[in-house]
Structure 1
Amino acid sequence: MTDEDTARLALPLLAAGQAQKETWHNEALALLDIAVQATVEEVGRNAPPAAPAPGACWIVGTAPSGDWADHAGAIAGWTPGGWRFIAPRAGFRAWHGTTGQEAVFDGTTWRRGEVRAARVLVDGQQVIGPRGAAIVMPTGGSTVDSEIRSCVATILNTLRDHGLIAI
């Protein structure tokens, strides 16, 4: 960052007495158009598409080539003036239109389709909270019905498969 750019998105700032301020202003708007409410065509693509439509964006992969070289992990947007890039910061989000999933930058990599929460509420009622401790499988007992034992085992295994209780 320089004194001529904003701290978060590196948007160009206008200077007093600057000639052609509309150029700097338009550049900032083009970058904002890519970053705000970002929607991407693809996550992890390394080569620019051959004929991108203006306004289309991609999340650049880890080994970019061509016009995307040196922009690994960035959001690349095609504009009438060529490629524009937004370097992500932790917490950046982009909607991946093809899968309908959100991609979130964790500070190191883009993660798609993950939901992170301390708990999940539906109509104000908690339906999922922190993972519970392991539940011991029933064993022994002379009056335990084999069908109920099988049913309880199925329930416990399903809860474990869903990650709701520990193995």
Structure 2
Amino acid sequence: MVRTDALLHCAIEGAAQTPPSAPSPGQSWRVLGGGQAEFTGHDDTIALWTEGGWRFIEPRPGTRAFNRSSGAFELFDGSWVIPTSPVAPQGGATIDAEARSMLVNLLETLAAAGVFATN
């Protein structure tokens, strides 16, 4: 039930290689590669702190988590996809080409973030 609750509205505090020193029950982190201490061997999992200690959740493709520290959703698709902001158009000499480039970049960024299908 604890794992189901953690995944139902999945939100992580952030990403870390080492466990935080004073987590509260119900808080979660995405374990970065090279995890240390209790996070050793749990790379790319979601580490959930409970009253009974750490519980590790293996994400499946399609798992989405809201990262509270970055304010963005992260998507697991074999590895964690972390969205980046699209590059803002600059200049103005060739508006049509710049606008098209910006739109392509925006669409690629949204697709990578899992906002819509890539097929």
TM-score w.r.t. length of structure 2: 0.74
User: Alpha-carbon deviation of 1:37?
Assistant: 1.4
Unaligned runs of 5+ in 2: 85-91, 106-119
Please give the residue correspondences for 1:24-43 in structure 2 after superposition, counting only pairs within 5 Å: 29-43=1-15
Poorly superposed stretches of 4+, deviation over 4 Å:
none
Aligned length: 100
Task: Give CA-to-partner distance per residue, 1:12-64, whole Å, 9 cap, x none.
Answer: xxxxxxxxxxxxxxxxx112122221100113x11000111111100000110
Aligned counterparts of 2:93 and 2:53: Cα–Cα separation in 1: 61
Secondary structure in 2 matching 1:164: helix
Aligned counterparts of 2:5 and 2:98: Cα–Cα separation in 1: 47
Sequence identity of aligned pairs in percent?
A: 32
Q: Name 1:106's counterpart in structure 2.
A: 77
Root-mean-square deviation over aligned CA pairs: 2.3
Is 1:68 equivalent to 2:39 in the alignment? yes
Aligned counterparts of 1:71 and 1:80: Cα–Cα separation in 2: 19
AA paired with 1:156?
A
Greater relative contact order structure (CA < 8 Å, 6+ sep): 2
Unaligned runs of 5+ in 1: 1-28, 115-150
TM-score w.r.t. length of structure 1: 0.54
Q: Name 1:56's counterpart in structure 2.
A: 27
Q: Considering only CA atoms, is the larger Rg found in Structure 1 or Structure 2?
A: 1
Aligned counterparts of 1:102 and 1:52: Cα–Cα separation in 2: 21
Please give the residue correspondences for 1:1-167 in structure 2 after superposition, counting only pairs within 5 Å: 29-43=1-15, 45-107=16-78, 109-113=79-83, 153-160=94-101, 162-164=102-104
